[in-house]
Amino acid sequence: MKQAQKDYDHLQQLSRHSRILTGIGHLLDWDQETYMPDGASGIRSIQMETLAGIIHEEKTGKKFVNALSKLIDIPKGSLKTKELSGEQVAALKEWRRDYLKEKALPKKFVEEFARLTSQSILAWRSAKKENAFQRFAPFLDKLVSMARKKADFLGFKEHPYDALLDQYEHDITTHEIAALFSSLRKNVVDLLKKISKKKQINDDFLHGSFSRDKQLEFSHRILKDMGYSLNFGRLDISAHPFSSASHPTDSRITTRFHPTSLVSCISVIMHEAGHALYEMGLPQEHYGSPLGDSISLGMHESQSRWWETRIGQSKAFWKHYLPHLKKQFPGPIEKASLESFYKAINKVEPSFIRVEADEVTYSLHVILRFEMEKALIEGTLSIRDVPEMWNAKMQELLGITPKDNTEGCLQDIHWSMGAFGYFPSYTLGNLYASHFFEKFAKDHPDWEQRVSSGDLLFINEWLHHAVHIHGRRYTSKELLKKVTGKEFSANAFINYLNSKYEDVYNLK
C-alpha cells in the first residue's frame, strides 16, 4: 500500500472516532426530545457541554492536525500528494474546511454554546406550552449574542449571517438567498392572488376524530413501502418532529399526531423518512470521512420535501393508498373521489404553522424567518420586538395574524437550538427537489404509473444513486449540475407550483 493511502486511512480512522462521538451526541439529543424525564435536564446540559468539548478537542487536536497536514497544506489548501483518487482529494478539502471552521471556535465557546442550547430548548418548550415569550426571551437574547460571536469567530466577507448560513449550506451567500427569495416571493404572491379569486376547495372530510393507533399503523405501512427499515430505525413521538442519525444503520425519526387532521401525520412521517433514507443511504465504507456525510441541510431537505410533497401529495400516490386509507378510517372520507381527495390535500390557504403549511405558502413562512434572523444578527431587530415583528410579517406575507405567541414566534424549536442560518435550507430543499425531479421524470417517464401501483422503492433507488452515495464529494450546486446538466435556479420549483396549482384550482 502506498504511503499516501496509509496516511489517508489513518486520517479517516481519527475522524471516524470523532464522528462516533458526534453520533452519541445525536442519541442524547434524540433522548432529550423523546423519553428523557424532565428532572434530568440539569445533568443532560452538562453531558452535552462535556461531549461538545471532547469532540472539539478531537477535531482540532495535534493528532488530527498532524494527520491532515501530511496530505494537504492546511493554511494554503494545496495538496502534498498526487496518489489519491478524485473523491479522496475532495474529502481532504472538506476535512481542511471543517478543521478551519472548528479551530476558529474556542473550546470554551463551544462548551458554553452546548450548555446554553440544552437549557434553552427546555425553556422554549415551557414558554411555548404556556404562551410565555417573556420566559424564553432571556435565552433568545443570549443565543443571538452568541450567534454574533460565532459569526465573528468564523469570519465573513459581506454579512455576519453569511458565516451562520455557511454552517448549513456553504455554497451560497446571504445575498444569493435574498435574491432567490425575492423572485420566489413575487411569484408565490402572484399565484396566491389568483387562487384567492377561485372558489375554495372543500376538505371537511379530512377533519374529524382519528385514532392515534390507526394513524401509527398506516404510517408504518408507508414507511415500509418507502424502504425505511425498522431494523435500522424507529418511529417515536416528540413535540417537534425530527430525524436523528448516528450511523447509516441507526437512523431514527419522530412524528406528532394531530387527532383531528388525517393527513398531518402522513406528511410528517414521509418528510422525516426522506431525511432518514438519505442517512441510511450514505456509504458506510466512508463513515467518518466527508464522503460518508450528507452534503448540506438544503440537500437534506430536498430529500424530505421530495417524499412529502412531490410523492406524498401526488395523485398517483393516492390512487394506490386512498382505498387503503378508506378501509383504515371509515367515515366521511369513504365518499371522497380520488380527484376530490387530491384537491383537498393540496388546498391552498394561508395558515399560522410552518410545518402544516401548503406547498404554495410554505416558502413565505421561511422567508419571514430568514428576514427576521438576518435582522436579529445585524442588530436591527431587538428581542423585545420579536413577537410584534413576527405578527407584522405574517400579516404582510400571508394576510393573517397569530392569536398568540405559541401560534406565532414560539412555534419553531430552531432558535432555542441556536440554529441561526438553518431556515433558508427548508426552501432551498424545495428548489433542489424540483431541480432533481425534472431529471427523475425524464429518467422514469412512467413514474406515475409505477407509484399508482404501489411501487416506491425505485424512487429511493434513483435518489440513492443520484444523491446519497456521493457524500460530500460535491457541493449542492455541483451535484445539481452533475445530475441534471443545468445550473441551479428557482425556475424548476416556480414552474412546478404554477403548473400544479393551475390544475388544482382551474386557473386557466
- The CA–CA distances, whole Å, from 491 to 180, 296, 435, 439, 505 equal 10, 21, 8, 14, 21
Nearest of 139, 88, 24 to residue 289 by alpha carbon? 88
Cell of 498: 404554477
Cell of 435: 431541480
Q: Catalytic residue numbers?
A: 272
Is the distance from CB of 414 to CB of 476 less than 8 angstroms?
Answer: no
Give the integer Cα–Cα distance in Å for 444 and 305.
Answer: 19
Packing angle of the helix pair 359-378, 386-398 (nearest 10 deg): 150
Give the integer Cα–Cα distance in Å for 243 and 456.
Answer: 20
Identify the sign of the CA torsion 218, 221, 223, 229.
positive
Give the integer Cα–Cα distance in Å for 50 and 312.
Answer: 41
Give the integer Cα–Cα distance in Å for 234 and 52.
Answer: 26
Give the integer Cα–Cα distance in Å for 413 and 404.
Answer: 16
Give the integer Cα–Cα distance in Å for 423 and 367.
Answer: 8
Query: What radius of gyration do the chain's Cα atoms show?
Result: 23
Sheet architecture: strand order including 235-237? 235-237, 250-255, 243-247
With 0-12 CB in 10 A as exposed, 13-18 as middle and 19+ as buried, what is 149?
Answer: middle
Q: How far separated are the first and last CA of the chain, in Å rounded?
A: 66
Output phi, psi for 199, to 5 deg: -65, 130
Is the distance from CB of 480 to CB of 299 less than 8 angstroms?
Answer: no
Is the distance from CB of 415 to CB of 140 less than 8 angstroms?
Answer: yes
Residues 6 or more apart whose CB falls under 8 angstroms from that of 73 comprise 79, 80
Nearest of 506, 486, 374, 350 to residue 431 by alpha carbon? 486
Cell of 400: 393573517
